[in-house]
Structure 1
Amino acid sequence: MKNMLSLIVVLSSWLAVYSQGSYTEIELKLKCDSIIEESNTLYRYETAAWNFTDMFLAKPELMETIRGVLTYQQGDTIKCLVIDDQSQCTYEVSFLNESAPCSEVTTYRSLSEYEMNLIKVREKIRSAFTDEKEYPIYSYKDYPLNWILIPFKDGYKFYAISGTSKGGVIPFGNDYLFIADKEGKIQSWKKFHSGLLPVEVTEQMPMIAFPIHSHLKKEPFISATDICTFRLYYNQTGSTKFAVYSPALSMYFVYEIATNTIRQKI
């Protein structure tokens, strides 16, 4: 009897792991926690960029000489800059949280060495996109890509997530991640979805309570880009949660906005 009980315990443990695609519950939780952490970073970058865009567009004098913008994290804040055609910072805003800026600077200044390097790396990564066969990045009408450069220990992550100015839409899909070394040379890249997967309310369906979509088999987890996109646009559809089905793991990942958490459902 003792041997039989031991066998049942071993088989139960094996089935639990096998049904989750060789991931244990602890491993799944750690993975989901890391995805939430990354999505929080993406959301901070994007909300700062959104608010900053509204602020500098309200200053037409800046638009006469604008060459580009730069967004990056410094300590606890997200800094956003307008850069003119002389490579000078003409407008700078810092955000400590998503709701309001904590500082605003309108004096001209030279870019720091760190800022110049971020621009250099960003442009080097983008220059590789001219090879459409190696990096087939798709564009969709009314759904431009927003790019986010995030430094990490070994180099840079360069995310692309879909945006839209259309109302009542969550623009899931058509999102990418490029990993580059410290010089900006691309080491690897991937896309999370097969294409654009917008969730859109209509007159016939004015509210979408629980949107669900599926991932590519080689992308078994809900992505940080999924969560960031949902947080940016969910209030236009009435949704408070969404799910991603993973064919690779035969399970659903459910994200809930109220708790900013992921749970798994088989």
Structure 2
Amino acid sequence: MLFPTFGKTNLMKYILTLFLVLFVASFQAQNLEKISKEINEEGITLYRSEMASWYGTDIFRENYNKMENVSGYFSYIDESVPKCIFFSKDNKVLATIAFPTNYNPKNAKLDLKERDFTPVETEYFTIRQNALARIKKDTIFKVYKNTSFNIVPIIKNKLKKVYVLTGPSVDNVVVFGNDYLITFDNKNEVKHIEKLHNSMITQNVSDEKVGKTISGIHSHVIENWQTITPTDICTLMLYQKFTNWESYITISEKFASIWNPNNNLVIMKTENFKNMTENIRKGKEEKSKSKEVIK
């Protein structure tokens, strides 16, 4: 009685097809949720490292007066504690700055005692230096005016990688793109290098014509990075205190990613995103027409 136009065979095919469609839709939703969670967590890991580097650099410069001895720095998470390490030209640790989870510089612990790297720090140092050497000689890495590279080594779940982000050296600008991911083998040798964006994208925090911006959007075209990237998440979190953006969107042929400052990330198919925005637009138009009729 429920399907009067179906024979038994066609009814079974219909039910199986419907079940398959629902299963695929559910699987895709769960898969996108999993991808979203992984990207967001990686972005937060990058952010925690970069925050330690940002504040660690300021604290170090205020308390160390022999900058000619410094060769470089890196940050890492040591049993949930963010630490920034500065090292000398003969590969000795010159300073260790440990931060609370809120990164309040007033509560940071500074240790200027010179020492050797710990075994864990040696791993971070090695992949950081190998990445730097590759950056200097590989033409895939592009340097733009008024920017510099931030080298962020990450060791997580036995995977070793270095993210290379581009940071601006001028105010009122947030830089996305011109970023790279370098992965390493178990001997700390470079295994693979890839670009995360096809180019560099800049957005002003405050615009002369529209004033202070409240959001932003950029597109992704690289096949392997159709969603928002961990570097995008990291950049958005780092600059949130300057931008106060209410949301940010990346869009590609396959996916639209919507981020907000509460660390909520939603990834959906681009076609679904376009349908959603179109429905919102039509809803606003209908609401506007209703107000005009009431007047």
TM-score range, shorter chain: 0.7 to 0.9
Counterpart secondary structure, 1:204: coil
Residue 13 (structure 1) aligned with residue 28 (structure 2): no
Distance 1:152 1:209 in 2: 34
Partner of 1:115: 121
Distance 2:212 2:120 in 1: 45
- Cα deviation code 1:176-216 (max 9, x no counterpart): 11111122222222111111101113211222222111112
Counterpart secondary structure, 1:144: strand
Counterpart secondary structure, 2:97: strand
Distance 1:113 1:8 in 2: 56
Counterpart secondary structure, 2:131: helix
Residue 213 (structure 1) aligned with residue 215 (structure 2): no
Pairing of 1:131-210 with structure 2 (within 5 A): 131-133=137-139, 136-200=140-204, 201-210=206-215
Partner of 2:51: 47
Identity %: 24
With the length of structure 2 as denominator, give the TM-score of the two structures: 0.78
- Cα deviation code 1:30-78 (max 9, x no counterpart): 0100111101100000011000011112135141422222322211112
Residue 80 (structure 1) aligned with residue 84 (structure 2): yes
The 1:59/1:206 distance shift into structure 2, 3 A limit, reads same
Distance 1:260 1:54 in 2: 30
How many angstroms does 1:259 deviate by?
4.2
Q: Tell me if the contact between 1:125 and 1:184 (Cα under 8 Å) persists in the aligned partners.
A: no
Q: Tell me if the contact between 1:125 and 1:180 (Cα under 8 Å) persists in the aligned partners.
A: no
The 1:234/1:153 distance shift into structure 2, 3 A limit, reads closer
Distance 1:198 1:64 in 2: 33
Distance 1:208 1:15 in 2: 39
Counterpart secondary structure, 1:49: helix
The aligned amino acid for 1:184 is N
How many residue pairs match? The answer is: 257
Structure 1: runs of 5 or more not aligned: 18-22
With the length of structure 1 as denominator, give the TM-score of the two structures: 0.86
- Cα deviation code 1:125-165 (max 9, x no counterpart): 332334435xx111111121111001134441110112123
Greater C-alpha Rg: 2
Counterpart secondary structure, 2:211: coil
Partner of 1:225: 231
Q: Tell me if the contact between 1:125 and 1:186 (Cα under 8 Å) persists in the aligned partners.
A: yes
Counterpart secondary structure, 1:221: coil
Distance 1:143 1:51 in 2: 19
The 1:117/1:99 distance shift into structure 2, 3 A limit, reads closer
Distance 1:34 1:77 in 2: 21
How many angstroms does 1:263 deviate by?
4.3
Partner of 2:131: 125
Q: Tell me if the contact between 1:65 and 1:84 (Cα under 8 Å) persists in the aligned partners.
A: yes
Residue 104 (structure 1) aligned with residue 110 (structure 2): yes
Greater Cα offset, 223-232 or 121-130: 121-130
Counterpart secondary structure, 2:212: coil
The aligned amino acid for 1:51 is Y
- Cα deviation code 1:59-109 (max 9, x no counterpart): 351414222223222111121122223433222111231422442212222
Distance 1:76 1:14 in 2: 39
Partner of 1:253: 257
The 1:3/1:161 distance shift into structure 2, 3 A limit, reads same
Counterpart secondary structure, 2:147: coil
The 1:188/1:142 distance shift into structure 2, 3 A limit, reads same
Q: Tell me if the contact between 1:169 and 1:236 (Cα under 8 Å) persists in the aligned partners.
A: no
Taking only aligned residues, the RMSD between alpha carbons, in angstroms, comes to 2.3
